[in-house]
Amino acid sequence: MDISVVVPLYNEAESLPELCAWIERVMTENKFTYEVIFVNDGSTDDSWEVIRKLSAANPAVKGVAFRRNYGKSPALNTGFARAQGDVVITMDADLQDSPDEIPALYKMIMEDGYDLVSGYKQKRYDPLSKTIPTKLFNATARRVSGIKNLHDFNCGLKAYRLKVVKHIEVYGDMHRYIPYLAKLAGFNRIGEKVVHHQARKYGKTKFGLDRFVHGYLDLMTLWFTGKFGGKPMHFFGLWGSLMFILGFIAVAVVGFTKLYNMYNGNPYTLVTNSPYFYLALTLMLLGSQLFLAGFVGELVARNSPRRNDYEIDEELRIN
């Protein structure tokens, strides 16, 4: 099979027939073998009934229905698990992503050698309240992830080589950082394509401004787990040791200062009357806690059943 199209959706009953017909037309014109996997994320409208009818009319249309709303990331992960095409295309169900982009995305994966191609909606039909935070968000994501050539990490229109979606796990709200997840999994051939962005035709957006707050927290989580997930002592142990050493030096300075003044007959105060003493103790306590956190993290990492589960791309046997 050439292409799997994964479409996560929530309350998009009005747009589904038009989207499905559009995808079918593009696939037929380009003679692609394909499947469309609609993942109904607990919709409360008639989305699932529409998917049933579309599937009855076209065997290439498949559907998965969640019992309740879990979010876009679980929907994508479920679709990825069921995808069988050589190239996997993801797009939103609101008709803001154009299926006419599919042939060019397919070519970039199969002929140009990319592992992942992310769409870039250079001209957007969104209000400033959405576009400005989006620019700041993407600038931060480029900086943290090191993927400098992407302008729109969260674009729903993406293309993947099949083995990419089979080797990443999209959970929580991590759909915003699938290129970063792919990079952490060892897929470094990541490209970008300028795509057409259409104004929403039906319904309204399902995402609020809180996604930017959650997005930054998720980005920090990915950065930390990607850099220190397998070696937590390198982070906690380093900072814990530095804080403990600084605290110990500060305590020693306070103590020697008092002894010096006592020996030379200078006025002095009790060590416990000095605020520096308590700051030093706080540093030592925090340092000890961080060090112990790193130690416990190392024990957990070493006892993980996947500690030696490395991603092997190819293997040759020489007889």
Residue-level pLDDT at 158: 97
Task: Collect all residues with Cβ–Cβ distance below 8 Å to 76 and sequence separation of at least 6.
Answer: 6, 8, 39, 90, 170, 175, 178
Count of CB atoms situated within 10 Å of the CB of 273: 8
Instruction: State residue 270's pLDDT score.
Output: 78
- Per the CB < 8 A criterion, the answer to whether 35 and 60 are in contact is yes
Residue 35 has pLDDT above 60, yes or no: yes
Percent pLDDT > 70 in the chain is 84
State the Cα torsion 126-182-138-202 to the nearest 10°: 10
**What average pLDDT does this structure show over 100-129?**
87
- Angle between helix 102-110 and 16-29 (nearest 10): 50
Residue 306: the pLDDT is 59
pTM as predicted: 0.74
When pLDDT is cut at 50, 70 and 90, the band that residue 317 belongs to is low
- Predicted pLDDT at 116: 97
* pLDDT tens digits for range 238-295: 888 899 899 889 888 888 888 888 788 778 777 777 788 888 889 899 989 888 888 7
What is the band of 92 on the pLDDT scale with cuts at 50, 70, 90?
very high
Closest of 51, 186, 46 to residue 116, by C-alpha: 186
Average pLDDT over residues 70-77: 93
Tokens of 227: 């850099």
Q: Are 41 and 71 in contact (CB under 8 A)?
A: yes
Domain range 3-228, CATH class: alpha beta
- Nearest in space to 8 (alpha carbons), one of 69, 55, 49: 69
Q: Tell me what pLDDT residue 179 has.
A: 92
- The full set of domain ranges for the chain reads 3-228, 233-302
Q: Are 116 and 187 in contact (CB under 8 A)?
A: yes
User: For 121-141, how does the pLDDT look when each residue is reduced to its tens digit (9 = 90+)?
Assistant: 877 656 655 667 778 888 888
